[in-house]
Amino acid sequence: MSLLSVENVNKSFGGLKALDNVNLEIAAGTVHAIIGPNGAGKSTLLNCFVGRLEPDTGSVMFDGQSLLRIDPHEINQAGVSRVFQTPEIFGDLTLLENVMIPAFAKRDGAFTMNVWRGVALESDVRAKAMDMLADVGLSTKAQDIAGQLSRGDKRRLELAMCLVQEPKLLLLDEPTAGMARADTNNTIDLMKRIAARGVTMVVIEHDMHVVFSLAEKISVLAQGTVIAEGLPQDIKGDPRVQEAYLGGAHL
């Protein structure tokens, strides 16, 4: 059964056609990678899922609900969380607060004016956030200010912020870009553990090592169209995919 289904999505910027009739089915409980050369429209597609962009035509259905023409926060409340290419975190707040905020959002909804019950009393939210930080290996830095973290730590923090919401669908935009090999392997392990919990994931990734370690299904995007789709081993040998990567890249 598919959790996210994308039908005939088109998006143009001026004369440039960024997405050209994209169709995509993301099955529940799978890790689905979207790969493709630069400028293929991968990030544009992801932006259409979270309400950052509105497709010109087509539909995006998530769990029986359309994701179009609703606000980003409503999409998140429906169960979609996203990790960005450049980590979007609360730079002035502590790591613990960074993770508690999404936990509150999950529990209390898009807006609550909870003034009388102090944060100090919310021990279960706090415990949950601490567990999550431990999960991504940041528990020793819980009281540090998030803006001072290294780029890799920021990514892990952002991941923790998404995971603490127990999303039905997790979107990751190049989660290992710019990471050293050791860090990348740690992230792969982490994502495997997340996948094992049954979280559906859509991953955009350039690093084929990451893609083939994780993905159960791969879609290849080139010039705004899905040119190939299938199991990792099928994609590896697909000549169209080789072609799209200018024939040179070794998959």
Partner 1 sequence: MRNSSMSKNDLILLFCFSAAILAGPIILAPIGAGYPDLLQKFAIFGIFALGFNILFGLTGYLSFGHAAFLGAGSYTAVWTFKLLSMNPLPAILLATLMGGLFAALIGFICLRRSGIYFSILTLAFAQMSYNLAYSVLTPITNGETGLQLRQADPRILDAALGRDYGAVLPSSDFFGIDMTGYPGFYFCAVILIACFFFSMRIFRSPFGMMLRAVKSNQNRMNYTGLNTRPYALAAFIISGMYAGLAGGLLAVTDPLAGAERMQWTASGEVVLMTILGGSGTLLGPVIGAGAIKYFENIFSSFNEGILMKAFDFLPESLQHIMVSISSLFVGEGWHLTLGALFMLIVIFLPGGLMEGFNRLRTWLGNRTGGGDGGAVPDTAPAPSVGGD
* Site residues for partner 1 per CB under 8 A: 50, 71-74, 76-77, 81-82, 84, 88-94, 96-97, 100-102, 104-106, 108-122, 126, 142-143, 145, 161, 165
CA angle 88, 93, 95 (to 5 degrees): 75
Nearest to partner 1 of 127, 249 (CB atom): 127
Q: Closest distance between partner 1 and the C-beta of residue 141, in Å?
A: 12
Report how far residue 99's alpha carbon sits from residue 90's, in angstroms, rounded to the nearest whole number. 10
* Beta carbon of residue 140, minimum distance to partner 1 (angstroms, whole number): 12
DSSP H helical ranges for 57-94: 72-78
Q: Nearer Cβ to partner 1, position 10 or 77?
A: 77
Q: Where are the alpha helices (DSSP H) in the chain?
A: 42-50, 72-78, 95-108, 123-135, 151-163, 181-196, 208-214, 232-237, 239-244
Cβ nearer to partner 1, comparing 38 with 111: 111
Shortest reach from residue 163's CB to partner 1, in Å: 12
Of 14 and 118, nearer to partner 1 (C-beta) is 118
Kindly state the smallest distance separating residue 98's Cβ from partner 1, in Å. 9
- Quote the DSSP letter at residue 165: T
CB of 54 to partner 1, least distance (A): 15
CA gap 46, 232 in Å, rounded? 21
CA angle 156, 162, 165 (to 5 degrees): 140
Looking at beta carbons only, is 117 or 250 nearer to partner 1? 117
SS3 114: coil
